[in-house]
Amino acid sequence: MLLIPLGIACVVAFVAGALVASGSAERDSAQRFADAWQDGDYGAMYDELNADARSRYSREDFESAYADAARTATQTALEVGDLEGPEDRGGESVVVVPATVQTSAFGDVDGEVAVPVADAGVAWQPNLVFPGLAEGDELRADTEYGKRAPILAADGSALASGPASARVTNGSGGIVTGETGTPGRKLSKQLSELGYPADAETGTSGLELAFNDVLAGTPGGKLLAVGDGGKAVLAQRPPTPGKPLRTTIDAKLQDATAAALGSTFGGAAVLDAKNGDVLALAGIAFSAPQPPGSTFKVITASAALEDEATSLGEQFPVETSTVAGGREIANAHDEACGGSLVTSFALSCNTVFAPLGVRIGGQKLVDEAEQYGFNSPPTIYNPKALALTQPPESTIPNPLKDDVNVAVSAIGQGEVLATPLEMASVAQTVANDGVRSPTAMVKSPELAGDYPDVEVMKPGVAKQVKKMMIEVVNSGTGSAASVPNAQVAGKTGTAELGTTTTTGPAAPGEEPEQDVDAWFTAFAPADKPKLAVAVMVVKAPGDGGTVAAPIARQILEAGL
């Protein structure tokens, strides 16, 4: 028997224990490093580096290296397996970390990283940013794109086709489809997560952006480890082509709507009166809300009738101005206006509808407007696409802080803002017996979104508002919207943005130039509604009845 002196035995035991303790500490550090990698917490990963590694690599460079690798790989998720080791590899102690990286463009990457450990921490090296990289390797992507699919009108004709770098729009289709090009920084970050390099040309606005993932398909190609020894393929997958996007757009009506608006700065929207589908858009149809002026009186009227705060036969004073909420409010052109509710609506009497707003109260007015879709995103796409494109909302302050604000809001002034799309939806609601339908732009239910119909008012109230809108065209401010062989029901609006003198004082006997937006919203035929339309002209040369109503008439004539 070999006898070992007690002192030597204690030294051996102490050294062995120290080695075990050191290995355990280093494995624990590697485990925390791997867990943080799986969570995408690069800061926590850096905290596990030993002193030597931290002296050679800054926290910023370390975190950037991992972020760049994830972006290059189009990484969407990473999962680590059970660690192995520490074990000796080439004279250094390493802990093996199995990892599966899920990517958008290249499929799943299965591999491992051998994490060097020393001095109770991770002895980090740059090749640890991705499985399969040898020392000195760089991670690169050779990306390929699938064929971009066309955007189609409801009848299957192409509104936009061709690659993103040379997209061709047919007729006025570009107004609806949006644009392709090189994305800005914010959009580039979002698209990189889908597998597109920062300089890739892709959808940048409208439908091209909203449903870019559908139209562009899925990128593919090769994910490479590139070093002095050449290239190694870590993962590869062929690209998949995009899928055609069929819209609700009526191609002929779309061209007619764009032609009717022409070069005028403004917007127009046409809806299917039965179901709310978007049939045509022109100009800034849903991109730049403006004060809707007296077209908002449709909402004020329905709120008052629904609340039984007035009736069609109620008689109102004939006057040129009135005081509402302590503020004097005048009729357009200081005209004397009043009579029954129907007549007051047909002649667009501010002196009637501003006090009527105060009568029903601010909260009722706001609630009614919100039932019509104000203060909510337009229901043109599903929520995912809306989040990507962020179209502006039509808005009304909630709450309205005092009676002055209630009064001016009731006539579509103050801080009330709306788009032609929203005001076309208001007309569609009246036409559809008081039920507001979603304003879908695409045929696919999944892409259009699951938006419910909203009962804004009872059918009887809608019938009363319809009667009022008919009188606007037959005997009021909207006569220029009349079309042959079909009764039009509408409402004019002239939003006064402020009186300005742009070329010096007005000549003697002349009025100063008015800075106004001209509006008209309508549906037709009134007895069996087919189309709902709204037109807005920004800084118009006249009022809604003389500027916007004739444009709406051209659109209705083309579509009926």
Residues 207 and 264 in one domain: no
Residues 73 and 206 in one domain: no
Sorting pLDDT into bands at 50, 70 and 90, what band is 468? very high
Q: Give the active site residues.
A: 294
Residues 389 and 455 in one domain: yes
Domain count of the fold of the chain: 3
Asked if the structure places residue 378 within a domain, the reply is yes
- The whole-number pLDDT of residue 11 equals 40
- The C-alpha atoms of residue 241 and residue 395 are separated, in whole angstroms, by 39
Residues 543 and 407 in one domain: yes
Query: In sequence order, which residues have a C-beta less than 8 Å from that of residue 408 and are 6 or more positions away?
Result: 327, 329, 354, 414
Residues 287 and 180 in one domain: no
| One-letter amino acid of 508 | P
User: Which is more confidently placed, 199 or 161?
Assistant: 161
Residues 307 and 345 in one domain: yes
Residues 237 and 258 in one domain: no
Asked if the structure places residue 367 within a domain, the reply is yes
pLDDT higher than 90, residue 37: yes
- The whole-number pLDDT of residue 23 equals 60
pLDDT higher than 50, residue 156: yes
Sorting pLDDT into bands at 50, 70 and 90, what band is 514? low
- The C-alpha atoms of residue 534 and residue 524 are separated, in whole angstroms, by 12
CATH (domain of 532): 3.40.710.10
CATH (domain of 100): 3.10.450.100
Distances (CA, A) of 313 to 54, 156, 316, 343, 434: 83, 49, 9, 9, 21
pLDDT, one tens digit per residue, over 56-99 is 999 999 999 999 999 999 999 999 999 999 999 988 999 999 99
**Cα-atom radius of gyration of the chain, to the nearest Å?**
33
Q: Give the pairing type, strands 454-455 and 75-80.
A: unpaired
Asked if the structure places residue 201 within a domain, the reply is yes
Residues 157 and 34 in one domain: no
The whole-number average pLDDT for the span 95-104 is: 96
Contact 292, 519 (CB under 8 A): yes
CA 166 to chain centre: 24
Asked if the structure places residue 221 within a domain, the reply is yes
The token duo for 279 is 């049939």
- The C-alpha atoms of residue 97 and residue 105 are separated, in whole angstroms, by 24
pLDDT higher than 60, residue 502: no
pLDDT, one tens digit per residue, over 327-336 is 999 999 999 9
pLDDT, one tens digit per residue, over 413-456 is 999 999 999 999 999 999 999 999 999 999 999 999 999 999 99
- The C-alpha atoms of residue 319 and residue 215 are separated, in whole angstroms, by 58
Residues 364 and 226 in one domain: no
Beta-ladder partners of 168: 161
- Of 213, 245, 277, which residue is a domain's last? 245
Q: Shortest CA distance to 101 belongs to which of 132, 79, 128?
A: 79
Asked if the structure places residue 343 within a domain, the reply is yes
Asked if the structure places residue 446 within a domain, the reply is yes
pLDDT higher than 60, residue 547: yes
- Of 132, 165, 198, which residue is a domain's last? 132
pLDDT higher than 80, residue 26: yes
- The whole-number pLDDT of residue 145 equals 87
Fill in the DSSP letter of residue 394: P
Cis preceding-peptide flag for 529 (omega within 30 of 0): no
Average pLDDT, the chain: 92
pLDDT higher than 60, residue 508: no
Domain that holds residue 318: 251-559
Query: In sequence order, which residues have a C-beta less than 8 Å from that of residue 487 and are 6 or more positions away?
Result: 470, 473, 524, 525, 526, 527
Residues 315 and 422 in one domain: yes
Q: Write 168-175 long-range contacts (CB < 8 A, 24+).
A: 170/251, 171/251, 171/254, 171/255, 171/258, 172/254, 172/255, 172/257, 172/258, 172/259, 172/282, 173/249, 173/251, 173/254, 175/254, 175/258, 175/281, 175/282, 175/283, 175/285
The token duo for 428 is 């569609």
SS3 321: strand
Kindly state the helix (H) or strand (E) to which residue 227 belongs, with its residue range: strand 220-227
- The C-alpha atoms of residue 514 and residue 37 are separated, in whole angstroms, by 63
The token duo for 292 is 């809707």
CATH (domain of 223): 3.90.1310.10
Asked if the structure places residue 146 within a domain, the reply is no
- Of 100, 132, 164, which residue is a domain's last? 132
Q: Shortest CA distance to 271 belongs to which of 170, 177, 378?
A: 378
Residues 185 and 204 in one domain: yes
Least confident window among 171-185, 291-305, 373-387: 171-185
Residues 367 and 434 in one domain: yes
Asked if the structure places residue 494 within a domain, the reply is yes
- The C-alpha atoms of residue 153 and residue 135 are separated, in whole angstroms, by 54
- The whole-number pLDDT of residue 503 equals 37
- The whole-number pLDDT of residue 194 equals 67
The whole-number average pLDDT for the span 267-279 is: 99
- The whole-number pLDDT of residue 513 equals 52
- The whole-number pLDDT of residue 498 equals 56
- The C-alpha atoms of residue 205 and residue 199 are separated, in whole angstroms, by 16
- The whole-number pLDDT of residue 14 equals 37
